[in-house]
């Protein structure tokens, strides 16, 4: 695939346990995109101290001051061309730290961008149950999901502690997922630059608490 030009993705992951297998997988995923000339910013719930509930931006009232750090992160999300969302599987569920992290920001910060799912587990299911739940979640916040999923079973066997793998299936799935996300991100970026978002106030951070989900039920321009 021809290297992408100037794309910027955010990698979200929310495993806060120590030690954690996210440290085996994340560097591998980042390198796969950086090798394709994509800049990747990491939103790690543990490093960002989003391992406990914080008041989401959209629940601040009109006269309340939103925390500067939250607004800084929110701006980064809004500027991204796409998202890579990585989760472990905890008892058949999405890692709770991941949802806590992403839910600090309003849906309209994610909307009209593509998203890719990476899931892993210590067992044979490869995090696929959590990945299916992520499909519903990522659709509800307005992202366009890739057909492919990188699902990694027996993650501690598939990856070394220094994020290396010789697993042919993992490498094949990673290449497919990366190529799909880049293709969609380039196409959507072009449309966004040429036509904008074409909906009234769908990307407005002001007074979010009274608007509900800002990208839904809006009047679309002609």
Map out the domains of the chain with their CATH numbers: 8-210 (3.40.50.360)
Q: Indicate if the alpha-carbon torsion angle 167, 182, 69, 55 is positive or negative.
A: negative
Q: What is the pLDDT of residues 23-70, one digit of tens each?
A: 999 999 999 999 999 999 999 999 988 766 678 888 888 788 888 999
pLDDT at 199: 62
Helix (H, G, I), strand (E, B) or coil at 86: strand
Within the chain, strands assigned E span 8-13, 39-44, 82-90, 93-94, 114-120, 144-152
Whether the pLDDT of residue 169 is over 90: the answer is yes
Number of alpha carbons in the 13 Å side-chain half-sphere of residue 184: 21
Residue pair 36/186 in contact (Cβ under 8 Å)? The answer is no
What pairing do the DSSP bridges indicate for beta strands 114-120 and 144-152? parallel
Check residue 2 and give its pLDDT: 52
pLDDT grade for 17, boundaries at 50, 70 and 90: confident
pTM of the predicted protein model:
0.89
Q: What is the pLDDT of residue 43?
A: 97
Residue 27 zone, left/alpha/beta (φ > 0; ψ -120 to 50; rest): alpha
């Amino acid at each position: 695939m021809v290297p992408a030009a100037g794309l910027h993705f955010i990698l979200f992951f929310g495993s806060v346990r120590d030690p954690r297998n996210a440290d085996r997988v994340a560097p591998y995923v980042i390198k796969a995109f950086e090798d394709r000339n994509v800049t990747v910013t990491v939103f790690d719930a543990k490093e960002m101290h989003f391992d406990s509930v914080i008041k989401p931006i959209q629940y601040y009232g009109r006269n309340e001051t939103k925390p500067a750090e939250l607004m800084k992160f929110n701006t980064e999300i809004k500027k991204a061309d796409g998202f890579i969302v990585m989760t472990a599987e905890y008892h058949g569920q999405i890692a709770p730290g991941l949802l806590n992290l992403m839910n600090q920001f309003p849906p309209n910060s994610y909307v009209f961008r593509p998203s890719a799912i990476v899931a892993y587990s210590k067992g044979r299911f490869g995090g696929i149950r959590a990945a299916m739940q992520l499909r519903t979640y990522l659709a509800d916040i307005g992202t366009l999901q890739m057909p492919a999923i990188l699902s990694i079973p027996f993650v501690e066997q598939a990856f070394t502690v220094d994020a290396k793998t010789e697993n042919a299936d993992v490498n094949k799935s990673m290449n497919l997922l990366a190529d799909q996300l880049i293709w969609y991100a380039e196409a959507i970026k072009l449309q966004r630059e040429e036509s904008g978002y074409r909906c009234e106030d769908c990307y407005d951070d002001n007074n979010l608490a009274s608007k509900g989900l800002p990208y839904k039920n809006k009047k679309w321009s002609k």
